[in-house]
């Protein structure tokens, strides 16, 4: 065989290999949908930032998997479960979407995951907080990556109860996420010798929290827990400050994302304890990725953004390792491969879809300790994943 013949043979083998690889990818592409609140109360927590994060992941992976191009599409769920489920149904039935990421509101995520499970497509949950997706509503196609209410409660509530803060009052977002966070936190409080002395529930996107704060003020609580997120956390803390509640009791933010922490008056929020799955300024690795994200998006990342990127990269690796985008094969590889990046520390994906990893116990810095507007938190301690997340339920063990 001469050199020319050898070259033709090599090209033929390469072409056949490439064709074979793409043949194992449905519709000759890897298509990921990003479903999130793109302009409402939770838009800063994921929204357009999660689109940026997944686009970065696709580019960093080389733009293709198994020779098939990666395509990212996105849609606004408007924080409505029916809107979100309709979008996902159209994606999987008409637009050949392989997996859906983002997934911020727990109510929307609950509706979307039902559609995805029926279609045998993967739900890549980066920002929804409810633990239902690996408990009561567990599915072999759910991947819950960044955090959940159990990790938040174990990280923030238990240390405060142990320190003597025994009486708690909740201002709770009145939908699935808030109810789940309140329920899990209540269990932690009561199991550690504390009690809940009162609860009020506020509709999502409430702007006037004065009546709720006045009820908290009259409760005799040691701690007022804000079981909400995003702008709701900011607005409820403002009201607590205006009525002098923050001078009377501790106010605990049970889910405080970076944008909310930045929006709070540091003179009011200083010292507030919280649990997070990621902090941009934790070490050189987190800073390197976060600076790249900020350059593109215009702001430092919240934990949902970092989680979305990390999960997408793990998904692409699993598709490559499986040699196909078939959801069952990919999920098996996602569980087999060990996540290990700037976000996922000491991590593994359990058979119920829960990604267990280190969490961080932190406090909001006072103004005089900040070097700039992005310098928000002091990380006080690392919480090992097995201590942060609740154990797996036997009925949610989807291992082969």
- What lies within 8 Å, CB to CB, of 198 at 6+ separation is 169, 170, 215, 216, 219, 221
Q: Regarding predicted confidence, which is higher, 1 or 327?
A: 327
pLDDT at position 176 is 86
Residues 72 and 194 in one domain: no
Residue 246 sits in the same domain as residue 384: yes
> Considering the domain boundaries, does residue 396 fall inside one?
no
Are residues 287 and 334 part of one domain? yes
Residues 62, 165: one domain? no
Regarding whether 343 and 196 lie in a shared domain, the answer is no
Question: Do residue 133 and residue 200 come from a single domain?
Answer: no
Q: Give the number of domains in the chain.
A: 2
Where in the sequence is the domain holding 184, given as residue range(s)?
150-276+360-388
For residue 338, is it within any domain?
yes
The answer as to whether 3 is a domain residue is: no
Residue 16 reports pLDDT greater than 50: no
Q: Tell me, yes or no, whether 242 and 319 share the same domain.
A: no
The strand pair at 30-36 and 99-102 is best described as: parallel
In a domain, 204, yes or no: yes
pLDDT tens by residue, 356-383 = 999 999 999 999 999 999 999 999 999 9
pLDDT band at 267 (very low <50, low <70, confident <90, very high): confident
Q: Is the pTM of this model over 0.85?
A: yes
Say yes or no: 194 and 257 in one domain.
yes
Residues constituting the chain: 400
Are 290 and 300 in contact by the 8 Å Cβ rule? The answer is: yes
> 374 and 342 in one domain?
no
Q: How far lies 209's CA from each of 154, 232, 342, 399, in Å? A: 26, 9, 37, 45
In a domain, 395, yes or no: no
276: left (phi over 0), alpha (psi -120 to 50) or beta: beta
Q: What percent of the chain has pLDDT over 90?
A: 90
Mean pLDDT of 312-341: 98
Is residue 399 assigned to a domain?
no
- Does residue 21 register a pLDDT over 60? no
Structure tokens at 333: 């590889």
Task: Read off the pLDDT band of 105 (50, 70, 90).
Answer: very high
157 and 84 share a domain?
no
User: Is 249 in the same domain as 313?
Assistant: no
Q: If you average pLDDT over residues 167-178, what whole number do you get?
A: 95
Asked whether residue 313 carries a pLDDT value surpassing 70, the answer given is yes
At 275, list the tokens: 């649990």
Place of tokens 């058979």: 351
Can you give the CATH number for the domain in which 82 is found?
A: 3.40.50.2300
Compute the average pLDDT of residues 338-361: 98
Assess whether 202 and 68 both reside in one domain.
Answer: no
**What string of H, E and C letters represents the secondary structure of 223-289?**
EEEEECCCHHHHHHHHHHHHCCHHHHCEEEECCCCHHHHHHCCHHHHCCCEEEECCCCCCCHHHHHH
| Mean local confidence (pLDDT), 124-148 | 97
């Amino acid at each position: 065989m001469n050199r020319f013949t050898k070259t033709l043979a090599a090209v033929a083998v390469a072409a056949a290999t490439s064709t074979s690889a793409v043949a194992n990818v449905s519709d000759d592409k890897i298509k990921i949908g990003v479903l999130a609140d793109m302009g409402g109360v939770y838009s800063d927590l994921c929204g357009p930032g999660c689109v940026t994060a997944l686009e970065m992941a696709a580019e960093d992976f080389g733009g293709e998997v198994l020779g098939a191009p990666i395509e990212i599409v996105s849609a606004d769920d408007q924080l409505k479960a029916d809107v979100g489920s309709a979008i996902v149904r159209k994606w999987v039935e008409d637009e050949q979407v392989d997996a859906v990421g983002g997934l911020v509101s727990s109510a929307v995520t609950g509706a979307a995951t039902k559609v995805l499970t029926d279609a045998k497509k993967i739900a890549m949950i980066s920002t929804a907080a409810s633990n239902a997706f690996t408990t009561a509503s567990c599915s072999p196609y759910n991947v819950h990556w960044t955090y959940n209410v159990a990790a938040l409660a174990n990280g923030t509530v238990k240390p405060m109860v142990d320190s003597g803060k025994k009486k708690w009052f909740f201002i709770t977002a009145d939908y699935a996420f808030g109810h789940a966070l309140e329920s899990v936190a209540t269990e932690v409080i009561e199991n550690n010798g504390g009690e809940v002395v009162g609860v009020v529930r506020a509709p999502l996107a409430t702007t006037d929290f004065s009546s709720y704060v006045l009820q908290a003020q009259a409760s005799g609580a040691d701690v007022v827990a804000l079981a909400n997120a995003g702008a709701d956390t900011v607005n409820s803390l403002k009201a607590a400050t205006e009525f002098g509640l923050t001078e009377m009791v501790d106010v605990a933010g049970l889910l405080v994302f970076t944008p909310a922490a930045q929006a709070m008056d540091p003179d009011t929020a200083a010292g507030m304890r919280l649990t997070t799955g990621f902090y941009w300024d934790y070490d050189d690795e987190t800073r390197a990725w976060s600076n790249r994200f900020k350059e593109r998006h215009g702001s430092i990342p919240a934990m949902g953004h970092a989680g979305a990127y990390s999960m997408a990269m793990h998904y692409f690796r699993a598709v490559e390792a499986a040699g196909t985008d078939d959801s069952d094969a990919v999920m098996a590889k996602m569980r087999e491969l060990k996540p290990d990046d700037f976000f996922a520390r000491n991590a593994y994906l359990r058979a119920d879809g829960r990604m267990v990893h280190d969490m961080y116990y932190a406090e909001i810095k006072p103004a005089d300790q900040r070097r700039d507007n992005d310098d928000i938190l002091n990380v006080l301690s690392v919480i090992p994943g097995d201590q942060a997340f609740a154990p797996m339920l036997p009925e949610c063990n989807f291992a082969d």
